[in-house]
Structure 1
Amino acid sequence: MAGDILLEVKNLVKHFPIKGGILGRTIGAVKAVDGVNFFIREGETLGLVGESGCGKSTTGRVILRLLEATAGEVWFRDKNVLELGKEEMRALRREMQIIFQDPYASLNPRMTVGNIIGEAMEIHGLARGKEKEERVIELLETVGLTAQHMRRYPHEFSGGQRQRIGIARALAVDPSLIICDEPVSALDVSIQAQVINLMQDLQEEFGLTYLFIAHDLSVVKHISNRVAVMYLGKIVELADKEELYRNPQHPYTQALLSAIPIPDPTIKRERIILEGDVPSPVNPPSGCHFHTRCKYCMDICKVEDPVFKDYGGEHFVACHLLER
Structure 2
Amino acid sequence: MHFPITRGIVFQKQVAAVKAVDGVSFSVARGETLGIVGESGCGKSTLARCVLRLLDPTGGKIVFDGHDITNLSRAEMRPVRREMMMVFQDPYASLNPRKRVGFTIAEPLEVNGIGTAAEQKRRVQELLEVVGLSPEHYNRFPHEFSGGQRQRIGVARALAVNPKLIVCDEPVSALDVSVQAQILNLLKDLQREFGLTYVFIAHDLNVVRHISDRVMVMYLGKVAELANDRELYTNPRHPYTGALMSAVPAPNPALARQRKPIVLQGDVPNPINPPDGCRFHPRCPRSREGLCDVDEPQLRELGADHFGACHLPLEHWPMSEEELKHPAEPSILTT
**Is this a same-fold pair by TM over 0.5?**
yes
Q: Does 1:286 pair with 2:276?
A: yes
Matched residue SS, 2:245: helix
Structure 1 segment 127-166 matched on structure 2, within 5 A: 127-166=115-154
Which residue in the other structure is 1:4 paired with?
none
Deviations 1:137-160 (A, max 9, x none): 000000000111110111111110
TM-score using structure 2 length = 0.91
The 3-state SS of whatever aligns with 2:153 is helix
Q: How far 1:26 moved relative to its partner?
A: 1.4
SS in 2 for 1:297: coil
Structure exhibiting the larger radius of gyration computed from Cα positions: 2
Q: Tell me the CA shift for residue 264 of structure 1.
A: 2.9
For structure 2, the 5+ residue unaligned runs are 314-331
Task: Indicate which of 290, 295, 304 corresponds to 1:304.
Answer: 295
- Alpha-carbon distance between aligned partners in 2 of 1:41 and 1:302, rounded to the nearest angstrom: 35
Q: 1:63, 1:81 within 8 Å by CA — same for their partners in 2?
A: no
Q: Which of 244, 250, 263 is equivalent to 1:273?
A: 263
- Structure 1 or 2: more strand by fraction: 1
SS, match of residue 40 in structure 1? coil
Partner SS, residue 263 of structure 1: coil
Match of 2:194 in 1: 206
Ranges in structure 1 where 5+ consecutive residues have no aligned partner = 1-13
| d(CA) in 1 for partners of 2:140, 2:297 | 53
- Out of 59, 70, 85, the position equivalent to 1:82 is 70
Whole-Å Cα distance in 1 between the matches of residues 252 and 292 of structure 2?
37
Pairing 1:115-130 to 2, within 5 Å after superposition: 115-130=103-118
Which residue does the alignment assign to 1:41?
A: 29
Deviations 1:214-259 (A, max 9, x none): 1110000000000000000001100011011111111000110111
Q: Give how far 1:312 is off.
A: 3.2
Q: Are residues 1:110 and 2:109 paired?
A: no
1:160-175 mapped onto 2 (5 Å cutoff): 160-175=148-163
For these two proteins, the number of residue pairs brought into alignment is 311
* Equivalent residues of 1:65, 1:82 under 8 A apart: yes
Q: Determine the C-alpha separation between the residues in 2 that align with 1:115 and 1:266.
A: 53
Deviates more, 1:128-137 or 1:51-60: 128-137
Q: Residue by residue, what CA displacement relative to the aligned partner does 1:83-110 show, whole Å, maximum 9, x if unpaired?
A: 2222221100011000000012111111
The alignment partner of 1:92 has SS state of helix
Does 1:220 find its partner at 2:208? yes
Counterparts of 2:40 and 2:66 in 1: how far apart (Å)? 32
Structure-1 separation of matches of 2:192 and 2:108: 23
- Post-superposition offset of 1:266: 4.3
Query: What is the aligned partner in structure 1 of residue 2 from structure 2?
Result: 15
